[in-house]
Structure 1
Amino acid sequence: MASRSTETHDRRNFLRIGLATGIVAMAGLPATAQDNEMPAPLRRALEQEQLGAVLGNPTGDITLTEFFDYNCPHCRSMVGDLHRVIADDPNLRVVLREWPVFGAGSLYCARASLASLRQDRFWQFHTALLGIKGDADDKSAIRIAAQVGLDIPRLRADMEDIAIARQVEHSWLLAEQMGLVGTPSLIVGNLGGFGRQSRNEMRDMIAEARRGRS
Structure 2
Amino acid sequence: MLSFRMLAPALIALALCGTGPASAQSFTDTQRGDIEVIVRNYLIAHPEVLEEAMNELSKRQAAAEAAKHEAAITQNADTIFNSPRGVTLGNKDGDVTFVEFFDYNCGYCKRAMTDMLDLMKSDPKLKVVLKEFPVLSQGSIEAAQVAVAARMQDASGKKYLDFHQKLLGGRGQADKARALAAAKDAGFDMARIEKDMASPEAKATIEENFKLAESMGMNGTPSYVIGKQVVVGAIGLDGLKEKISAARCGKATC
Greater relative contact order structure (CA < 8 Å, 6+ sep): 1
Matched, 1:105 2:143: no
Gap runs ≥5 in structure 2: 1-61
- How far residue 137 of structure 1 moved from its aligned partner, in angstroms, is 0.3
- Equivalent residue of 2:250, what SS? helix
1:129-168 deviation line (CA, Å, top 9, x unaligned):
0111110001111222222222211101011221121111
Q: Distance in 2 between matches of 1:115 and 1:98?
A: 12
Q: Indicate yes or no: 2:247 matched with 1:209.
A: yes
On the 8 A contact 1:17/1:191 being kept in 2, the answer is no
* Aligned equivalent of 2:45: none
Query: Which residue in the other structure is 1:47 paired with?
Result: 81
Q: Do the aligned partners of 1:69 and 1:184 also contact (CA within 8 Å) in 2?
A: yes
CA distance in 2 between partners of 1:92 and 1:208 (Å):
13
TM-score (norm 2): 0.68
Query: Distance between the aligned counterparts of 2:190 and 2:171, measured in 1?
Result: 22
Report which of the two has the higher share of helix.
Answer: 2
Alignment-derived partner of residue 114 in structure 1: 148
- How many residues are paired up? 187
Deviation for aligned residue 1:78: 1.4
Unaligned runs of 5+ in 1: 1-14, 23-35
Aligned mate of 2:171, from 113, 133, 158: 133
Kept in 2: contact 1:64–1:95 (CA 8 A) = yes
Shift of 1:193: 2.3
Give the root-mean-square deviation of aligned CA atoms: 2.2
Q: How many Å separate the matches in 1 of 2:130 and 2:207? A: 14
Q: Choose 1 or 2 for highest CA Rg.
A: 2
Which one of 144, 154, 161 corresponds to residue 182 of structure 2?
144
Counterparts of 1:140-179 in structure 2, within 5 Å, are 140-179=178-217
* Displacement after TM superposition at 1:45 (Å): 2.2
SS of 1:79's equivalent in the other structure is: helix
User: Normalising to structure 1: TM-score of the pair?
Assistant: 0.79
Contact 1:78 1:196 in 2 (8 A): yes
Q: Aligned partners of 1:58, 1:157: CA distance in 2, in Å?
A: 28
Instruction: Please report how far the alpha carbon of residue 100 of structure 1 lies from its aligned counterpart in structure 2 after TM superposition.
Output: 0.4
Residue 18 of structure 1, aligned match among 59, 65, 74: 65
Deviation at 1:79, TM superposition (A): 1.0
Matched, 1:68 2:68: no
